[in-house]
Amino acid sequence: MEHPVYIEKQWFKFLWIFMPLVTIFSFGTQFFGGVPLASWVALLILTVNTLVLVFLGNLTIRIDASHLSWSFGWLGWPAWKFALTDIQTGEVVRTRFIDGWGIKSSAQGMLYNVHGYGAIRLTLRNGQTLRLGSQEPQRLLSYITPRLNAR
């Protein structure tokens, strides 16, 4: 990959609050609450929560001279990448509460988002549309737009 000209890393704040609380609650009921929760259940909850945070705990968006890519988690998987020449148009949009967060298909195309409601909607030359969540959608689009016109 070429040297990036733009990088944005967003934390999936809901998961970073919810998952540790569930883990603490499961261990707390096991050891202090007198609730007969099997130790293996508490360990399973800890393992699942840790894996979710490793794979989905953040979203990183990168733009270099020729490609747009984004990935989730510390391992960089799942990840997507395509050439900027594949983008036909882009615009700043706002997602709705009902759209939620994560990776999901919707009537407006795929959504990749981990926090907030700011996003950009990209229409690709093949007709596919997608929305990419961003804490700074106008800035993100400002890095993409000149590269579309330069091609």
Q: Interior CA angle at 115 toward 66 and 75, to 5°?
A: 55
Q: What pLDDT score does 26 carry?
A: 78
Q: What pLDDT score does 36 carry?
A: 62
Q: What pLDDT score does 53 carry?
A: 86
Nearest partner of 61 among 146, 150, 139, judged by Cα: 139
pLDDT tens figures, 35-46: 665 677 778 888
pTM of the model: 0.82
Average pLDDT over residues 119-140: 96
